[in-house]
Amino acid sequence: MMSAALRLNQIPVKRVWQKNPLRMASTFLVESEKYSFLKDLGLGKVNSGVFNGEWTGNGEIVQSIDPASGDVIAEVKTGSVSDLEKCLQVGTEAYKQWRNMPAPFRGEIVRQIGEELRKYREPLGKLVSLEMGKIKAEGVGEVQEFVDVCDYAVGLSRMYSGQILPSERGKHTIIEKWNPLGIVGVISAFNFPCAVFGWNAAIALTVGNSVLWKGAPSTPLVSIATTKIVSDVIKRNSLPPVVSLCQGGTEVGKKMVSDERVKLLSFTGSTQIGREVGVEVQRRFGKFLLELGGNNALIINDDAPLDMALDAAFFGCIGTAGQRCTSTRRLIIHEKLYDEFVAKLVKRYNLLNRVGHPLDEATLYGPLHNQQAVENYKATIAEAVKLGGKIECGGKLIERPGFFVEPTIITNLPHDSPVVHKETFAPIVYILKSKNLNQAIEWNNEVDHGLSSSLFTSSIGSAFQWIGENGSDCGIVNINTSPSGAEIGGAFGGEKHTGGGRESGSDAWKQYVRRSTITVNHSADLPLAQGIVFE
């Protein structure tokens, strides 16, 4: 989902967000009438970053920065390891009560959470845009994702079930039952600071778990505002704090990974850190759900609907300034269409003039998230040029306040160039020329990651090859739509170095429960399996 240096939720964290790298404002944005929606969300100049039934925070004070201007939005009192310990204790006790409530009742609470989020969709969406940097439509859409998964979870609360299986022994029945785990820990990333928590929390709560959240250190206000909305619903129903929050740094993250009370750890971040997280959780035989990197390709076959493919490439490459885990990193174009498609895409890029602050309604393209992202962008451009890449457009910084860079198209690199095989969390796309679909699929599959992919074609044969055993090896395999973005109804996640985790829809709920296989003998005899006679 992001390059290793960009991961602000990884275990070794540099607190680059504490001080404004552009200017030190005498006032904070939260104090401005222009941003009055921040106070509507219960935010102030200094905010507690820990919720354990009460709001507190005994760690460092950090500043949240608007990446479009460099201005300070507000400050947050983060959590310490001792704060996390309190959250763990509270979460463990809350779980004991919550797990005994009927699943449809838990679904009703999640329904109410969804309704409360609907009320705050606009202000919370604006906060997502302001703190992360994505445009307002995407910020509001992210909150809508949380609402949608709450709706999905309500239905799930009356439907998730095990099987009744035939037994080889007479008057015996085999039953499957799914039981909750305990505390589900969620460590989320800056690029989806609200939705990733929602995907996990709605499902985890519905099946009977409590949830402990550590949001990305650079988007703490979204974590706080979201938790306020969720916790208000829980309090109104006189329930224990089944959702807790501990915004913190390195030591807080390490403690969540290593503590046996966290029965499942859902981690969104880099492959490098995800590997370490997986090893540490496995060391204590815990469960983990990893949502890691993506080096996503969009294949344009010789029979592709060209205008649709062009729209998909434009959004997939520059949407969220290339900071989606599913952003298009590689365009693999059939040689018959290559020149025409590249020319049209470059023209589309050059006409992009709706660059600005994410909260401006006219803005279509916003900033990168921080200065480190800008440095990674610059380093990757330099590496690509050194390796022989041709910059068709972009490649430079945009001279304005904030962390703005030009969306960039690079050609003339081989499909297996090291820079092409490396995920850079920025609006950079490499365009490759393929001879046929088989070659394009081979190139799609040769990278380490396996998150999202897409094929544009008018051939039903090509479409079924793409989704079959000789096709894409990714977790998301689209046809005639962008690889960027996903609906909540399907299981979200990827293969290989993407981590193998699945969140949100389909049967992803099974990651948040433990399976009990039960054999019931309703006879008066005691026959053994496999016909064994022991006498």
Could you list the active site residues?
291
CB 142: neighbour CB atoms within 10 A? 25
User: Which residues have CB under 8 Å from 53's CB, separation 6+?
Assistant: 90, 240, 241, 244
In whole angstroms, how far apart are CA 511 and each of 136, 191, 229, 244, 508? Answer: 32, 23, 26, 20, 6
Sheet of 61-65, strands arranged across:
46-48, 72-77, 61-65
3 state SS of 402: coil
Residue 267 near residue 256 (C-beta atoms within 8 A): no
Joined together, the tokens standing for residue 80 give 């310490």
Angle, helix 136-156 to helix 103-119, in steps of 10 degrees: 160
Q: Render the burial of 461-478: b for 16+ CB within 10 Å, e for the rest.
A: ebbebbeeeebbbbbbbb
Please say whether the beta carbons of 162 and 176 come within 8 A: yes
User: Which token pair is 210?
Assistant: 């409590």
- CB distance 62 to 75 below 8 Å: yes
**Residue 216 neighbours by CB under 8 Å, 6+ apart:** 8, 9, 188, 189, 190, 193, 223
Q: Find where tokens 């493919």 sit.
A: 309
Backbone angles phi, psi at 438, to 5 degrees: -60, -45
Token pair recorded at residue 432: 């490759």
Q: In angstroms, rounded to a whole number, what is the distance separating the alpha carbons of residues 523 and 440?
A: 60
Instruction: Specify whether the CB–CB gap between 393 and 350 falls below 8 A.
Output: yes
